[in-house]
Chain A
Amino acid sequence: MIPASHAFKERARAAMADPDLTRALTKFKTGFPLKRAQAVAALPEFEALRDEGKRIKDHALAHLDLYLERFEAKVTAAGGQVHWARTPAEARAAILSICRAAGARMVTKGKSMVSEEVGLNAALEEAGLEVVETDLGEYIIQIRKEAPSHIIAPALHLSKEQVAEDFRRVHTHLDPARSLSEPSDLLTEARVLLREKFLAADVGITGANFLIAETGSTVIVTNEGNGDLTQSLPRVHVVLTSIEKVVPTLEDASTLLRLLARSATGQELSTYTTFSTGPRRPDDLDGPEQFHVVLLDNGRSALLGTEMQEALRCIRCGACMNHCPVYHAVGGHAYGWVYPGPIGAVIDPALIGLEEARHLPNASTFCGRCESVCPVRIPLPRLMRLWREKEAAARLSPGPQRWGLGLWAFLARRPGLYRLTTRLGMGLLGTMGGRRGRFRYLPLAGGWTGARDFPAPTGRTFQDLYRESQRARP
């Protein structure tokens, strides 16, 4: 996916002017947090579970090389194959060569954000393969030629009317008299079409929520069962995921699964939790003939051993964006790359560069709601602040912002001068504010006064008034 994060401001403006999107986000912003809150309230040990989740991931990341090698050995022992990809290009090449070797013509896909990260669909289509997304939300955005706007609810930004319109446009066989007004109508229509694709596919590609080192298994969670059909019907199953998903044991994965669905959708568990270990064995009734795991790095290993390593604990539940007031205002597409919201603000600069993604860690009020719900306690505001430090050091932020802050810091470091300047400044503003007590417009503060009045100061500073009152005290 080609990053457009540098245009965050323009994209955010366009998003806020889109009434369909605003309607979708208004529904979303209370729905998901409420469901999570109910699920959390029903599990007294949830906070302890978060500590345990953090511990498991910290341990796995501290010994990432060990667990990845152990995982590979187990995959190989089970008859599968691991492919290491340092870059998106290497991941695309590995999958393309698997498809070619299998003589594949059609590929079905389960939901995978890493697939978005490496731009897999475009590469496969360019090579002449038919690629079909089988998660309903992913299928919808595929026919719209869009990117997901949320990591677990990719078509969150759309209304059912918009989807019905897209189905009528693309599914030319549809009887115009047939109703598509209910979500179940849309689901039925997609299901009938996708069933044909499941049966015809040569290769099925899924992501992975976890990789288990002790067994060489990969784990996915879905609510539609599409992942199971994607990976068990075709001859070849390819798992495309990234290196930080590995955990030591099955037990660890089950602990994290208890956190994942509750944090994401408020479910105790997703409807389907599927473990895949190697290809079909001689006695198995079904399953793929080949099992491949493509492991992407793409800049992640560079975060190991740095303060930013904490971001690699992420289990992709989406709770941070579900609770983010900035995400609620602008939606996922404004962020301009694969991972939106607070976690995107932390990992996108690492994956696509700070220059491209510099807006993302800045576009936060540091309200802290994301950190308060993160199942693995990633200190998201702190990590965003670290990016801001790197940005300041590299002088990437706009000049006026830096000069303004520099001038303020210059004064604040000199109490005498600060006192004099603020005394004059507040006196002037207080007088100008007059009886009205506020400004509709202030030079250099157009951002503020564009949407709100600026309350005028009373005129004199507290410290001046206080010292005066102390002198007057008997």
Chain B
Amino acid sequence: MPVDAKSPRVGLMVTCLVDLMRPAVGFATVRLLEQAGCTVVVPEQTCCGQPAWNSGERAAAADLAKAMIRAFADCDYVVAPSGSCAGMVRLHYPELFKDDPEWGPKAHHLARRTHELTSFLVDVLGVERVEARYDGHVTYHDSCSGLRELGVKEQPRRLLAGVEGLRLTELPEAEVCCGFGGTFCVKYPEISAKMVSDKAAAVAATGADTLLAGDMGCLMNMAGRLHRLGSPVAVRHVAEILAGELSAPPIGGGKS
């Protein structure tokens, strides 16, 4: 199926955390994709299977991956507001089915078409600038999977640079893990707590009033720790700022 360059059909892989915890990120993603000229579809979906895959439960991960491969079969591209879930599809689906003559090629086909949101906008669609305004002093945490599996580093910064009113201060040790790690944070909560405490201290050192990142897991972890420490820093997904989708209060921030 040839890709309509002007209006590609993009499947939103919303990710289970955004679906359940923070729909605003999903709507922000839809808006950004539509603004960039995409036709967005949202197939029925549950989870990409990463928790099972990282827990050594290959069979469960394979079942969930097959459901995803089926759900997005007719999309030109698949986009996720998460480096971790996009990384799961791009890198780990092919590995999961590497010895499977039927699903292996399908997994590769989906992997090639799947992208993290900011990387899709910048690297695939060539978006230079988004129309948005945010009067705030922000800092940005690079989520590990996006950074090291997919090379997401400059893309969100380039888009944020075009947001009116926004000032960015780089986070010290921005490339160090926040301690979320999926099931890690419940299996080793004390180590995770130490890591996220270090991250919270780094955030405080920037003097920023807003912390952004591209993955809900990391964001919930960092927001949870910052709130526990009584920090006033607002935590949001980068898509919310880029889309000007600020109707929801910051993560864990209560209803105003």
List residues of chain A with CB under 8 Å of any chain B CB.
9, 12-13, 16, 30, 325-326, 329-330, 362-369, 371-372, 382, 385-393, 397, 401, 405, 408-409, 411-413, 415, 418-419, 422, 425-426, 434-438, 440, 445-448, 450-458, 460-463, 465-467
A-facing mask of B64-90, CB < 8 A → 1, else 0? 100100000000000000000000000
Which single residue of chain A is at the shortest CB-CB distance from B59?
A409
Cβ contacts under 8 Å, B26 to chain A: 462, 466
CB of B44 closer than 8 Å to a CB of A: yes
Task: For the complex formed, measure the closest distance between the CB of A336 and the CB atoms of chain B, giving whole angstroms.
Answer: 14
Q: A368-B145, A438-B252 are in contact. Are A330 and B191 (CB under 8 A)?
A: yes
Cβ contacts under 8 Å, B148 to chain A: 367-369, 371-372
Which of B13-21, B112-120, B162-170 faces chain A? Answer: B13-21
Which single residue of chain B is at the shortest CB-CB distance from A325?
B177
Cβ contacts under 8 Å, B55 to chain A: 388, 392, 397, 401, 405
The listed residue (A365, A385, A392) touching B180 by CB distance below 8 A is A365
Q: How far is the CA of A387 from the CA of B54 in the complex (A)?
A: 10
CB of B227 closer than 8 Å to a CB of A: yes
Q: List 29 A-B contacts (CB under 8 A).
A: A12-B188, A363-B187, A363-B188, A364-B181, A366-B145, A369-B144, A369-B176, A369-B177, A393-B56, A405-B51, A405-B60, A413-B64, A418-B46, A437-B253, A448-B186, A450-B189, A452-B221, A453-B252, A457-B20, A457-B22, A458-B21, A458-B23, A461-B23, A462-B22, A462-B27, A465-B23, A466-B30, A466-B42, A467-B42
CB of B197 closer than 8 Å to a CB of A: yes
Contact indicator B228/A365 (Cβ below 8 Å): no
The listed residue (A408, A451, A455) touching B196 by CB distance below 8 A is A451
Q: A325-B176, A368-B148 are in contact. Are A412 and B251 (CB under 8 A)?
A: no
A-facing mask of B41-52, CB < 8 A → 1, else 0? 010111101011
Q: How far is the CA of A448 from the CA of B181 in the complex (A)?
A: 12
CB of B100 closer than 8 Å to a CB of A: no
Contact indicator B225/A460 (Cβ below 8 Å): no
Contact indicator A448/B46 (Cβ below 8 Å): no
Cβ contacts under 8 Å, A366 to chain B: 54, 144-145, 181-182, 184
Contact indicator A426/B196 (Cβ below 8 Å): no
Q: How far is the CA of A465 from the CA of B18 in the complex (A)?
A: 12
Contact indicator B60/A413 (Cβ below 8 Å): yes
Contact indicator A16/B191 (Cβ below 8 Å): yes
Contact indicator B195/A325 (Cβ below 8 Å): yes
The listed residue (A13, A372, A393, A435) touching B190 by CB distance below 8 A is A13
Which single residue of chain B is at the shortest CB-CB distance from A400?
B186
Cβ contacts under 8 Å, B25 to chain A: 462
Contact indicator B145/A408 (Cβ below 8 Å): no
Q: How far is the CA of A410 from the CA of B3 in the complex (A)?
A: 36
Contact indicator A12/B23 (Cβ below 8 Å): no
CB of B255 closer than 8 Å to a CB of A: yes
Cβ contacts under 8 Å, B181 to chain A: 364-367
Which single residue of chain A is at the shortest CB-CB distance from B193?
A451
Q: How far is the CA of A386 from the CA of B148 in the complex (A)?
A: 20
Which single residue of chain B is at the shortest CB-CB distance from A12?
B191
CB of B179 closer than 8 Å to a CB of A: yes
Contact indicator A367/B144 (Cβ below 8 Å): yes
The listed residue (A388, A389, A415) touching B46 by CB distance below 8 A is A415
Which single residue of chain A is at the shortest CB-CB distance from B219?
A455
Contact indicator B42/A362 (Cβ below 8 Å): no
Cβ contacts under 8 Å, A326 to chain B: 188, 191, 195
Q: Is chain B's interface secondary structure helix, strand, loop, or mixed overall? A: helix
Q: Is chain A's interface secondary structure helix, strand, loop, or mixed overall? A: helix
CB of B224 closer than 8 Å to a CB of A: yes
Cβ contacts under 8 Å, A397 to chain B: 55
Contact indicator B54/A457 (Cβ below 8 Å): no
Task: For the complex formed, measure the closest distance between the CB of A21 and the CB atoms of chain B, giving whole angstroms.
Answer: 12
Q: How far is the CA of A127 from the CA of B128 in the complex (A)?
A: 73
Task: For the complex formed, measure the closest distance between the CB of A310 and the CB atoms of chain B, giving whole angstroms.
Answer: 14
Contact indicator A413/B185 (Cβ below 8 Å): no
Task: For the complex formed, measure the closest distance between the CB of B63 and the CB atoms of chain A, giving whole angstroms.
Answer: 5
Which single residue of chain B is at the shortest CB-CB distance from A464?
B23
CB of B122 closer than 8 Å to a CB of A: no
Inter-chain pairs besides A9-B188, A368-B148, A415-B67, 8 sampled, C-beta below 8 Å:
A325-B179, A367-B176, A413-B67, A435-B254, A455-B21, A455-B223, A463-B14, A463-B19
Which single residue of chain B is at the shortest CB-CB distance from A365?
B181
Cβ contacts under 8 Å, A456 to chain B: 252
A-facing mask of B1-42, CB < 8 A → 1, else 0? 000000000000010101111111111001000000000001
Contact indicator A451/B191 (Cβ below 8 Å): no
Which single residue of chain B is at the shortest CB-CB distance from A449?
B224
Q: How far is the CA of A418 from the CA of B187 in the complex (A)?
A: 24
Cβ contacts under 8 Å, A415 to chain B: 44-46, 67
Task: For the complex formed, measure the closest distance between the CB of B68 and the CB atoms of chain A, giving whole angstroms.
Answer: 10
CB of B232 closer than 8 Å to a CB of A: no
CB of B175 closer than 8 Å to a CB of A: yes
CB of B158 closer than 8 Å to a CB of A: no
Which single residue of chain B is at the shortest CB-CB distance from A8?
B188
Q: How far is the CA of A253 from the CA of B19 in the complex (A)?
A: 53
Cβ contacts under 8 Å, A9 to chain B: 188, 190
Contact indicator A463/B185 (Cβ below 8 Å): no
Contact indicator B194/A329 (Cβ below 8 Å): yes
Task: For the complex formed, measure the closest distance between the CB of B211 and the CB atoms of chain A, giving whole angstroms.
Answer: 13
Contact indicator B47/A455 (Cβ below 8 Å): no
Q: How far is the CA of A218 from the CA of B51 in the complex (A)?
A: 45
Contact indicator A368/B255 (Cβ below 8 Å): no
Which single residue of chain B is at the shortest CB-CB distance from A398?
B187
Cβ contacts under 8 Å, A413 to chain B: 46, 60, 63-64, 67
Cβ contacts under 8 Å, A465 to chain B: 23, 27
Contact indicator B191/A329 (Cβ below 8 Å): yes
Contact indicator B47/A412 (Cβ below 8 Å): yes
CB of B149 closer than 8 Å to a CB of A: yes
Task: For the complex formed, measure the closest distance between the CB of B39 and the CB atoms of chain A, giving whole angstroms.
Answer: 13
Contact indicator B24/A437 (Cβ below 8 Å): no
CB of B220 closer than 8 Å to a CB of A: yes
Contact indicator A422/B189 (Cβ below 8 Å): no
CB of B248 closer than 8 Å to a CB of A: yes
Q: How far is the CA of A436 from the CA of B184 in the complex (A)?
A: 27
Contact indicator A462/B195 (Cβ below 8 Å): no
Contact indicator B144/A458 (Cβ below 8 Å): no
Contact indicator B20/A426 (Cβ below 8 Å): yes
Contact indicator A389/B56 (Cβ below 8 Å): yes
Contact indicator B56/A437 (Cβ below 8 Å): no
Cβ contacts under 8 Å, B193 to chain A: 450-452
Q: How far is the CA of A175 from the CA of B51 in the complex (A)?
A: 60
Q: How far is the CA of A385 from the CA of B95 in the complex (A)?
A: 12
The listed residue (A422, A426, A445, A452) touching B227 by CB distance below 8 A is A452
